Amino acid sequence: MKKYFYIFRHGETDHNQKGICQGSLDIPLNQNGIDQASELLTKLSGKEIEIIYSSDLLRARKTAEILSLGMELPIVLDERLREFNLGEAEGLTKAQAIEKFGKETWDNFRSFNPKGNPVGFPGGETGAQVLKRTLSFLEDLTNQHTIKHMAISTHGGIIRNIIHHFLPPKSEPIPIPNCVLYVLRFTAPDTWDVEGPID
């Protein structure tokens, strides 16, 4: 049995444009983000997608809603798809976060090595904590036997965390631009493959 997860980051927000750490902040799409979601709709329209899962945060939810209207598919919201909670770093730029918490803390967080990196920002989540909830979500979908093609609207940190988990270790974090598509392929009982980014 194979399952296909078409996973993508939400469209752009003003915080993205300004380089501000969003994390669990509920920030809307800007106009460019809305346009990106519409372009993604064109890419996904030929796929055999049966349902859309989405983070409940506004930027991911709005991206999913644009796809849902165009593809006439239902949306299921799931908090496990939320972006990292960045704690006290939320609302700060990279430079501000480094000044406040130190470059080592920033670099450890950005390494996206969830297996060996217990570091998060004060009051926030670690990579291991986020990976645990994300894998729980994926496990639930692999265990249901009716739906085989799913779209997932989520966040850059979530996608990067998943990819670094399933692929061999990488020294540099994988860039995840807004509304760029990756495909996770699951083959029972426990094999995962990653394809992307897909133009």
Instruction: Say what angle helices 156-166 and 127-143 make with each other, to 10 degrees.
Output: 80
Question: Model pTM?
Answer: 0.94
Taking only the tens place, the pLDDT of each residue in 137-148 is 999 999 987 999
**Which residues are designated catalytic?**
10, 155
We report the CATH number of the domain holding residue 79 as 3.40.50.1240
Cα 44 off chain centre by: 17
Sign of CA dihedral 181, 187, 193, 199: negative
What would the pLDDT profile of 3-56 be if each residue is shown by its tens digit?
A: 999 999 999 999 999 999 999 999 999 999 999 999 999 999 889 999 999 999
What's the number of domains the chain is made of?
1
Lookup: tokens for 5: 């997860």
Residues of the domain holding 17: 2-198
